[in-house]
Structure 1
Amino acid sequence: MKERINRLARGIIDGERPEMAWQPEAVSETIRFDAVTKREILISSTNRLNVKGFVYSSNPRVRIPAGNNSFGGVRNRIAYEVDASYLAPGETIEGSFSLVTNCGEKEIPFLFTVGSGAPGEKLAGLETAEDFLHVAERDQETALRLLDYQGFTSAPFMQDLHVRALYDGLRGYGSRQNFMEEFLISLGVKRPVRLMMDDREIRYENLAEHQQDELLIRSDSWGYIRVDAEADADFIYLPRKSFTQTDFDEGCLHIPFVILSERLHAGKNTGCIRIRSRHLRTVVPVSVSMNAGGDRKALTWQKEFARYMDLRRKTVSKEDITQDLGELRRAAERVRILGEGLEEAQLPNALIEQDIQVLDGTRPLQELVDSMLHAGFSGGRTGEAGSYYLHLLEIARDIRPEDDPEPGLAVLEQLFTRGCRSPFLYEMALALLKRDPSRLDNPGDFEIQTMYYAVRKAEFGRELAVRCAIGAGSIRRYHNLALRLLMALYRIFPEKEILTAICAVMIRQDRRGGRWFEWYERGINKDVSLTRLYEYYLASLPGDYGRLLPEKVLIYFAYTQDMDVTSRENLYWNIVTYAKPNSQTYRDFVPSMERFALEQLFQGKIDSRLAAIYRKMIAEDLIDAKLARVLPPILRAARIRCRDQEMRYVVVVHEELMVEDAYPLENGYAFVPVFSDRDVILMQDSYGNRYTSVRYEQEPAMEDVDELVERCFLVNPDQPLLLVNACHQAAQKEMPDGEDCELLIKADRAVKLHPLFRDRMIGAVLRYYRKVQEKTEIPEEGLQYLLQMDKRMISQKQRSEVCGILIDNEYFSEAWDMVRTYTLTDLPADRLAALVGRLILDSLFAEDPMILHFAMRILDEGKADTVLLDYLCEHFNGTTEQMYGVLVRGLREHVETYDLEERLVAQMLFTGNTARMDAVFEMYAQSAKTSENVVRAYFTVRSAEYFFRNAACGDRVFAYLEGMVDASSEKDKVPDIYLIALTKYYSTLSDLTPKQREVCQSVVNSMIDSGMVFSYFKDLARFVIIPGDILDKEIVEYHGSRDRFPYLRVRILPEEENYHYEEMRQVYQGVYVREKVLFEGEIMEYQIEEETEEGRVVTAEGSISCREVKTRAPGNRFASLNEMSLALDMKNESDLQQKMTEYLKKDAAVEQLFTLQ
């Protein structure tokens, strides 16, 4: 700007101004929230002349880095920053860039929308949950990416607290697809997927090769699906076992499977395919029958063979089998007949025949044993009847019933230890034990197994049973079969000794729970005397025990102090449930029940029985500060039952808090604290997936506890969840009161609140403070809360409200820190005026860009006082219109304008925006101090506008020019434009004063000497002497470009019909003239052309004719000739004679006075 002013002051006028282009012409963009975005404006020259100037932003969030708002050159890049810090997605930053340049002033509007950066979709468009559903329906991958994006919570429909709680509880756990599915279901915009399939049995028969088949599952809607398939038989092969929604085609899923024929056995092969999904659990039976006809015959033979072996087993322990021999022969015959034609029956039938011969005494036993060993029977645990029979033969060979039992038992035990579990072995052992039961006094595995076999398959007496029970009851190590044996013995022989043994073993093995209760109860009813029998009885008390405990049990425990927690819980629950409160039994136990209840409460324990105890034992007067800290979650506990066996946890998400609680499901039950119906309950499986669609049952653990809860809050108002509930009610009020406000402030300081809920709370506090300010002052405690508040965690609107309250209470420094940090642009003008005015005074009018911005905004809204006007006049620079407005308002209010007039005039000169320049210059000229360069530049511009554009100028301009020219002794040193403008001005006047004629003559002489001749010179001939060679000619004057020379085409009518080119000469910057002698009656038509990219084009055209002018100079030859020609045409002979005489006299005088060499 300074350079241009200096050039203008020297009278230098740029013949051509730069032509400016800029990109973008308007800025409309979405920027990332909570970030600073850097961008550029490109300003270039289209005619290769340097573009110079300044750029200003109308919005403080759109900043041009300090010191970089000026530019100059053919191509200029102006960097700027858009600060979206602390703005929410969807908010806008609007304004414009003002370009103040040597090409003029331009405005580039901008509109930045704060976006989330989310892919594919603008979050601002997700007004409702249905909008998000439509996104998921069109493109699930985009919807998943939106859900994962951290800015998703800024979507409009996510501003609901309940929706946010659902989102927070589901996000980040398990499968992303499941997350989206459950979220949409919980919003109520999508129904759960339903799967359907036919689970009837699939049957095949006599397969000779692999059989391929498939299961069909149908879904009734789209959504996330996972299906797992599993086969439980080795002949069923599943090529693939896991499927998702991507495997469904038009709502159908095909699960292929293959029946492997090589793995099928004769007869019926059974198996199943298990289908497991969140939406479907079923089992599809699969059966394959192979050679069904042959199988029936073989099965009949096998049954008869087994019948024979069972008959033979029963003869093992008998000394005389004569009576049984006939039945054995008949059974053997049936086996032989049925086995005819069966390959598998040939060897067993032959062995049975030999066995009968052994029994008849016609064949030695050893031959049969050798034959079986030779045939391949091993004697191991194959489960085949032949192998069991071999055991029989081995035993019969080595042991005889009439011998001493002990050696025989030793042999049998040795076989047992080797792995033999033959029923023939157990039959022989039982026979020996009946003869000598001493081994049962300290039984081992062999004796226990034998007796367990006897219970199921054989006969024995009471004495043997009791002796076995006493021995088994003394076993110290864990032996599950021993306990089963004792229970089986008791069912046959219900003797007290056996029951005592059962209870002893159960106590020794720490058997607790409802399944064992009946045995402990029988023991007590039978007066069994065992240590800790009563304790185990109580610990195993079932949930459906619907009566008061027996009196002897209650008496026992009334004097017992060392009970475990479970026993005491069961005992006290039974008493508070079934005993009458006014009974002596109830009163006796009250002290111990109260102690137990408090003990469990402080440990935070809760279940159905404890809940019953708490409800009866905890009274309002018992609640102190210590108990009130732990009691509320217990009082608000809910019993959750989930029948879905895949679920492992119940998760409770509190809408108002940033925490959640997870509780394990035990046998499908969990007790969880639910403080309000706003709490969100989710189910979680072992994979971490969470669900809102899993069904569950909920009921309060305790009824009628509201008074106890209120007592807890009264005693301990700091309990977080009770405090939050109270805050919820306070925040819901249209106008909270003082107590509500104190409560909200307390919660904000003490509890980690959810941002959305905190936003509501703070909104309620601010509503209350606005109401208070209307009548009185906000208490200091409230102001300190606002000062200490973390302003980052509230909305921009609330920041402005807080800032306004601080301004009203004269916390100006703190308020300004907020304005600077958070760029608060929506403060009311009156509050802003108070703040900015104080800042200006405190800073002693030091320049600050942000203060200037807000001061200008206050001025635009008509709220500026003299302090702000003084500050703006001293420091503000902007567009010409803005600066002019500041100047006018400053003068009206009579404030110091400093150098504003000079800055404004200089900017008008620089930009060419001179519409109000005369008025501003008048004010500037009247100031105490002016710059000569600025003054001269002003007159240069005005002179140029007058000459080139015929712009009207005040008399002051020409008076200044006249005085400058008159004062200059060397006219050639005066800027040419001054001389041109002044002489042109003189040519328009009706008359000149003698002084003006003198000045004009000297200027014209200087201009002519410099070769400057203009068309208006002939009008000056009235006042000054113009040489005849100028007056004799007509002048064509053209204002063009100094860089493009014009081409003049002329023709003189009526003699010439065609145009011809003649040369023009440049007499000033871009001003060209052509002088031409024309006689009376001649007309010169002309066209002026310039060279362009398209070729030569006509830029001006017209015509001129001979013009007689009044002049103070003697007539010239061409004038005399024109006068004679005119008299001749008029046939005025006397006038013609007179003109001819004058011409001859003048011609003679010239020859006499001026001799040509």
Structure 2
Amino acid sequence: MDVKEEISKIKQINSEATPIVSLSVTNLDIEVEEGKVYKDSFFIESENKVPIEGYVCTTSDKVETEAERLEGTRQEIPFYFKGKLATAGNTFEGDIVLITNGGEYNIPYCVKVIHKFVESSGGRISTMEEFVQIYENNRKEAVDIFFLPNFEEVFLQGKPEQKELYHSLMKSRSKSLILEEFLTAAGYKNTSFLDVSQDKLILEEEDSSAQLELLLTQSGYVEGSIYSEKGQIQISRERFSSDDFTDGKLLFNVEKKQNLLNGSDIIHIDTVRQDIEISVEWWAKQTALTKEKEKKLYLKKKRAQLMHNYLYFRTGSIAFEDFAEDSEHVLEELSQYTEDNEWKLYRMHFFLMEERKEEGKELLELLEAISQRNEFTPLEANYFLYLKAMYYRTPEAISRAVSTIREFYELSEYKAEALWMLIYLDREYVYNKRLQYDTIRQLFEEGNNSSLLYFEACDILNENPNYMEELGKFEISIFRWGVRYGYISLSLSYQFARLALKAKYYNKSIYYIAEKLYGVEPDEQFLQVICSLLIKGNRTAKEYHEYFRLAVEANLKIIGLNEFFIRSMDFETYDLIPQRVLIYFTYSNSLDYLEKAYLYSNVLRNKEKYEEVYGAYYSKMLPFIEEQLLKGRINEHLAYLYTCFQKEVLEKPDNWKAVCDILFYHKLICTNPHIIGVYVSCPELGTEKYYHFPAERAG
């Protein structure tokens, strides 16, 4: 065999024994989200099918392979990047080294750690600013991203307060509203408010409906409801959201109900943050029916005006000259407006009061002719008989009138008017005040009320206060009428006070009357009635404090007065408390803990002015403070007391835990009536508690 053949044979043997190595990758450029582990793999293969043997390793502990030995003609090499502790912006470079029987190979790698991201229509986003941009362009896509499981991980890293806000809002129902509230509360956007094109709508007679425009002043999401206050109009939609707006505008129709010719209503547009009101009015041209209604209303108004003038004159509120002038003006106006007989009778009565005999005679002849034609109503006919009797004043005229009016009184529904006429004509009533009073009372109990009879009853009681033996509905009605017209005598007022003090329960009407009487005559008896009623009714509002203060200054002896003096004080201020009240509470224990806390806080703040009693109070304060502390109670006044007695409290180890328990109490004040409660979370303990706002709250 020659040399050439030998060399060729050796080459063939070496070729068959050494694998020809092929790699699926030659270098690795990798991007990894911070905090994540990246996994991948590549292949090593023998092109000539000679088994590969060897080892694989890396030059950095950040990248590792799952296989260490290389065996076979084809093998997958898994590797991974340990990036849980890596932060965005870091770069790691190195090599994956393969030592084989086919040679040594290096696969260089470069790992770049990037921010966590979410894929969106605009590409990858990883910051809140980029997310807000998505929200402004496509709110639906932003809602989908916001509720992804990794939203918090991507966008809220390093923002613990926003994380808490995110979790708390998840308890709500509306996804769009949750997102809107989050972005607003976190300061990423301004609050979205609504506006209306007009705050008052007037529908003309020919308009059965109109269109209103609701404006969205700031891009974002709102939802709410639309309703009418009285139900006199129909609204085309009851609920809405931002999805219903086009170019920031929402149109809705308002339609008046066809059965209402004239009317008004108020449209309410409610959202979480707003309550918008739009007043709506509509008027129709007057028909015969509406003109008749308007006439009746006008006459009723004028009748009331005449009655009030008469009563103001009878009660001494105005002079006869003023009464005459005002009444003459009204009757003259009515003569141009109506031919009704009622007003002619009123004018006749007016002539009698002014003693205008000649004019009265002429009008009486006219009324007589009307009577002969039977054109009077039954009430007008009896009123005419009364006026005739008062004009002639003869026994025959009076007797005839009394006989007819008595019969009318027994059979008619106008008993109050008939009795009033009998009081001035019938001798049985004229000289018997007790009978007048008892009859008026009987009519009241039967449901017959009249301002004229209220005056007569009040006039009788002013002269005979002893007639009033109780404060029932009748007596209270008389007094309400009397204080309205300023027609209660002083002796009757004192009789009222004596009876009012016997009341077992608070009565709003009796309190009102006592308040009016005290305003006219600031006598201690009326003040005692006022305070006694307030105490019986447990009325502690700040508006009543002035009465309790006056009673204390007058040294009135009323059970509970000192307690209600404290309870009605403004607990946000620290006005001086009278010495009498302070001394009382050095031995009385009748206040609850909130009232005591205010009292003690007031004493501490004004201790220089309370020198005489401060020592007695000081000895009572520390036991009280420790008791409240151990019960876990806190408010503004207790907080002040805890601060003032901090040294004394901390001297006892038994108090230490209680102090720690209340150190981080906070007070929440919510002015939005739509919010009913709050969730308070404690990240350190991983706990959450719900606090419900009371139905009536001051803030």
Query: Normalised by the size of structure 1, how large is the TM-score?
Result: 0.44
Is residue 2:189 matched to residue 1:190? yes
- The equivalent of 1:466 in structure 2 is 494
Q: CA offsets, 1:339-389, max 9 Å, x none?
A: 579xxxxxxx999854322212399669989999xxxxxxxxxxxxxxxx8
> Does the 8 Å CA contact 2:211/2:254 hold for their aligned counterparts?
yes
Report the alpha carbon displacement of residue 511 of structure 1 after superposing the two structures with TM: 1.5
Match of 1:204 in 2: 203
Deviation of 1:214 after TM superposition, in Å, equals: 0.7
Aligned to 2:385: 361
**2: CA distance, partners of 1:55 / 1:278:** 68
Q: Counterpart in 1 of 2:512?
A: 484
Q: Which residue of 2 aligns with 1:513?
A: 541
Q: Distance in 1 between matches of 2:486 and 2:375?
A: 26
Give the whole-Å Cα distance in 2 for the aligned partners of 1:447 and 1:52. 119
Residue 221 (structure 2) pairs with residue 224 (structure 1): yes
**1:565 has 2:559 as partner:** no
Identity across aligned pairs (percent)?
19
The residue number in structure 1 matching 2:265 is 271
Contact 1:123 1:154 (C-alpha < 8 Å) held by counterparts: no
Q: 1:641/1:19 Cα in 2 relative to 1: closer, same or farther (>3 Å)?
A: closer
Q: Distance in 1 between matches of 2:53 and 2:450?
A: 111
Is structure 2 residue 250 aligned with structure 1 residue 254? yes
Say whether the 8 Å CA contact 2:86–2:113 is kept in structure 1.
Answer: no
Letter paired with 2:563: E
2:557 counterpart (514, 529, 534): 529
Q: Distance in 1 between matches of 2:692 and 2:212?
A: 39
Query: What corresponds to 1:496 in structure 2?
Result: 524
Distance 1:192 1:511, change over 3 A: same
Cα pair distance change 1:286/1:60, threshold 3 Å: same
Question: 1:39-58 alignment to 2 at 5 Å?
Answer: 58=58
Give the Cα–Cα distance (whole angstroms) in 1 for the partners of residues 68 and 483 of structure 2: 105
The alpha carbon displacement at 1:536 in A equals 1.0
Residue 309 of structure 2 is aligned to residue 304 of structure 1: no
Alignment of 1:852-863 (within 5 A): none
Report the AA paired with residue 444 of structure 2.
Answer: L
Cα distance in 2 between the residues matched to 1:122 and 1:301: 73
RMSD over aligned Cα atoms: 5.7
**Equivalent position SS for 2:266:** strand
Measured after TM superposition, the shift of residue 524 of structure 1 is: 1.7
CA distance in 1, matches of 2:123, 2:618: 62
Whole-Å separation in 2 of the counterparts to 1:198 and 1:371: 62
2:161 maps to 165
The CA distance in 1 between the partners of 2:377 and 2:574, in whole Å, is 64
| Alignment map for 1:383-398 (pairs within 5 Å) | 392=416
> 1:580 offset after TM fit, Å?
0.9
Q: For residues 27 and 532 of structure 1, what CA distance do their matches in structure 2 show?
A: 87
Give, in whole Å, the separation in 1 of the partners of 2:51 and 2:259.
91
Residues 50-109 of structure 1, C-alpha deviations (whole Å, 9 max, x = no match): 988799575889888899986678xx8x59586979557868998887788999887777
Distance in 1 of aligned mates of 2:137 and 2:689: 35
SS in 1 for 2:504: coil
2 CA distance for matches of 1:190 and 1:326?
69
Q: 1:138 to 1:579 in 2, by over 3 A?
A: same
Deviations 1:847-891 (A, max 9, x none): xxxxxxxxxxxxxxxxxxxxxxxxxxxxxxxxxxxxxxxxxxxxx
Shift of 1:314: 9.8
Distance 1:114 1:166 in 2: 22
Residue matched to 2:213: 215
Deviates more, 1:279-288 or 1:505-514: 279-288
The whole-number CA distance in structure 2 between the counterparts of 1:368 and 1:249 is 73
Structure ranking higher on relative contact order (CA contacts 8 Å, 6+ apart)? 1
Match of 1:590 among 618, 623, 626: 618
Counterpart of 1:409 (choices 416, 441, 448) is 441
When residues 410 and 297 of structure 1 are mapped into structure 2, their CA distance, relative to the original with a 3 A threshold, is closer
* 1:514 Cα offset (Å): 1.0
Task: Report matched runs for 1:56-71 at 5 Å.
Answer: 58=58
Q: Distance in 2 between matches of 1:329 and 1:365?
A: 28
Q: Paired residue for 1:288, among 258, 282, 286?
A: 282
How far has the Cα of 1:518 moved from its partner? 1.5
TM-fit CA distance, 1:450: 4.6
Matches of 1:587 and 1:11, distance apart in 2: 115
- 1:650–1:664 Cα contact (<8 Å) kept: yes
String of CA shifts for 1:976-996, please: whole Å, max 9, x gaps.
xxxxxxxxxxxxxxxxxxxxx
**Partner-residue secondary structure (3-state), 2:168:** coil
Specify the alignment match of 1:755 in structure 2.
none
Kindly state the Cα deviation for residue 488 of structure 1 after the two structures are TM-superposed.
3.1
CA gap of 1:592–1:18, structure 2 versus 1, over 3 A, is same
What is the aligned residue count?
616
- The whole-number CA distance in structure 1 between the counterparts of 2:419 and 2:14 is 138
Shift of 1:422: 6.6
Aligned partners of 2:275 and 2:657: how far apart in 1? 45
The amino acid of 1:302's aligned partner reads L
Report if aligned partners of 2:532, 2:558 keep a CA contact under 8 Å in 1: yes
Aligned position for 1:771? none
Counterpart contact for 2:54–2:101, Cα < 8 Å: no
Partner of 2:391: none
Q: What letter corresponds to residue 120 of structure 1 in structure 2?
A: S
Gaps of 5+ in 2: 1-9, 315-319, 341-369, 387-400
> Residue type of the partner of 1:355?
L
Give the conservation status (yes or no) of the 8 Å contact 1:500–1:528.
yes
Q: Deviations over 1:303-351 (max 9, x none)?
A: 33333257569999x99xxx9999999978965753579xxxxxxx999
- 5+ residue gaps, structure 1, are 1-7, 342-348, 373-388, 671-1157
Distance 1:491 1:510 in 2: 22
Q: Alpha-carbon deviation of 1:506?
A: 1.5
Q: Tell me, what secondary structure is at the counterpart of 1:483?
A: helix
The answer (yes or no) to whether the contact 1:517–1:540 under 8 Å persists in 2 is: yes
Q: CA deviation at 1:562?
A: 3.8
CA contact (8 A) 1:473 1:501 kept: yes
Q: Return the letter of the residue paired with 2:253.
A: F
Letter matched to residue 524 of structure 1? V
Cα deviation 1:547-579 (Å, max 9, x = unaligned): 422222222223324432233233223322334
Contact kept? 2:405, 2:422, Cα under 8 Å = no
CA distance in 2, matches of 1:582, 1:439: 50
Residue of structure 1 in register with 2:577 after alignment: 549
In the TM superposition, residue 197 of structure 1 has moved relative to its aligned partner by 4.6
CA distance in 2, matches of 1:466, 1:536: 25
Deviation of residue 113 (structure 1)? 6.9
Q: CA deviation at 1:123?
A: 12
Q: Cα distance 1:27–1:606, how it changes in 2: closer, same or farther (>3 A)?
A: same
Residues 416-435 of structure 1 correspond to what in structure 2 (within 5 A)? none
Secondary structure of the corresponding residue to residue 219 of structure 2: coil
How is 1:630-669 mapped onto 2 (pairs within 5 angstroms)?
630-631=658-659, 643-646=671-674
